[in-house]
């Protein structure tokens, strides 16, 4: 969706990030590359580290979305709050596959 509907991601991008459209595309590419990296034993651990780092960076976006109605992009506050612990669950899940 980063490439199909980048405007969705631009709405939630913190304003201090330079070149936000480029960052939307780079994060989408990183998700694809890291997801593919998990499929191969030779690249799995590096990909898992990358996924954990990316999820950590995305926490910034989740907290930013809590800063106002415009930043929330129409998502209810309860969902935004629930996404934060979900990030940690996903980080642990990624860590649990580390060989």
Q: Is residue 73 part of a domain?
A: yes
Number of domains forming the structure of the chain: 1
In a domain, 86, yes or no: yes
At residue 23, the pLDDT reads 96
| Mean pLDDT for the chain overall | 94
pTM listed for this prediction: 0.88
- Is residue 71 in a domain? yes
In a domain, 1, yes or no: no
Residue-wise pLDDT for 55-82, tens only, equals 999 999 999 999 998 899 899 999 999 9
| Nearest-angstrom CA–CA distance, 60 and 27 | 14
Burial of 62 from C-beta contacts in 10 A (0-12 / 13-18 / 19+): middle
Give the residue numbers spanning the domain of 11. Answer: 6-96
């Amino acid at each position: 969706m980063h490439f199909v509907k980048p405007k969705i991601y631009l709405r939630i991008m913190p304003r201090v990030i330079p070149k936000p459209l480029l960052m939307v595309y780079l994060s989408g590419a990183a998700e694809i590359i890291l997801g593919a990296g998990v499929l191969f034993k030779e690249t799995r651990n590096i990909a898992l580290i990358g996924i954990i780092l990316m999820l950590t960076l995305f926490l910034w976006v989740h907290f930013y979305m809590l800063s106002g109605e415009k930043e929330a992009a129409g998502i209810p506050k309860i969902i935004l709050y629930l996404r934060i612990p979900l990030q940690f669950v996903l980080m642990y899940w990624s860590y649990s596959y580390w060989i």
